[in-house]
A = this chain, B = another copy of it.
């Protein structure tokens, strides 16, 4: 009624932009035809299609996603919740995820949990309210409510940054525990016996926990009781790494090697050692975890575990979009995290 009035009176809809119907009028076809050229161009005769496309251009028509989502029950949006965006290793994953999704015509709705499962749950609900077609989660530990919401909304999801073939949830990632074990063993093999660790904060963080546990287990297996004051936990900041290293260097039994839960902490430890005039690796060895670009470039180059951050983003996007389109796809993908032996590790100093 109102709509007719508007047209009869030729009240141009100056306030709002062109709709599908406007394009249809302009091209002298029905809205159905315009919709087809947009979504299933093959079903429309060439000449008509060209005419419609011209009108779309002329009017500067931009589809109305909400209306489209309402009618088609697909939003073309995928969501991702990461602990924090402000962390180089996640942002590299996010970047690749976003680019890959964009190639498929999907946009990325991004949220962060601040390493809190409760916030993660809330952000999940917020994303679900925006009718995301799929969701990417980091790690395998989540509030049960997250999974039940996802299930009742029938939204496909995938856990990245972890690999667990026994999980009931799709996951794309690597074995956090194994790689940490390997790098610890490497230090042991070099002859280190005084090994300290600066772990990431393990609270509600299964990746940090796995890394810490792996180190502890490996040390224990080697008959080295890990002492409390040589195992520290710090948040993800270079300054925290420095601070922790400072504390470790004051210990009576100074460590000959420091294992860090991530590269940022490792860089902090390295800088602190350098500031104190210690030679790395001849005085002390340092290893990180993540494989940031800078880790390979710092002097001396950091020995670390390189994780497939970019690949996880790409594969997660592909998994979700395939699943959304009901195309079968492998729901568990194991990627490799590789030990990169560089210049911050060597045999322990003789004096020990």
**CB within 8 Å of B: which residues of A?**
15-17, 60, 62-67, 69-70, 75-77, 84-88, 91-92, 94-95, 98-99, 102, 105, 107-112, 123, 125-131, 148-149, 152-154, 237-239, 241-242, 264, 267-268, 271-272, 274-275, 293-294, 296-299
Interface CB pairs A-B, < 8 A, 19: A60-B152, A64-B70, A65-B66, A66-B69, A75-B130, A76-B130, A77-B109, A84-B95, A86-B92, A87-B91, A94-B110, A98-B112, A107-B126, A108-B110, A108-B111, A237-B293, A238-B298, A264-B294, A274-B299
Question: A130 to B107, Cβ gap below 8 A?
Answer: yes
Min CB gap A347→B, angstroms? 22
Q: With A126-B107, A127-B107, A293-B239 as known contacts, state yes or no: A85 contacts B98, CB within 8 Å.
A: yes
- This chain's copy number in the assembly: 2
Question: A99 to B112, Cβ gap below 8 A?
Answer: yes
Question: B131 to A66, Cβ gap below 8 A?
Answer: yes
Question: A297 to B268, Cβ gap below 8 A?
Answer: yes
- Secondary structure class of chain A's binding surface, majority of residues: helix
Question: B65 to A130, Cβ gap below 8 A?
Answer: yes
Residue of B62, B67, B109, B128 touching A62 (CB-CB under 8 A): B128
Kindly list chain B residues whose C-beta atoms are within 8 Å of the C-beta of A297. Answer: 238-239, 241-242, 267-268, 271
Cα separation A329 to B70 with both chains bound (whole Å) = 33
Question: A17 to B152, Cβ gap below 8 A?
Answer: yes
Q: With A110-B108, A112-B98, A297-B268 as known contacts, state yes or no: A15 contacts B154, CB within 8 Å.
A: yes
Question: B62 to A70, Cβ gap below 8 A?
Answer: no
Kindly list chain B residues whose C-beta atoms are within 8 Å of the C-beta of A127. Answer: 107
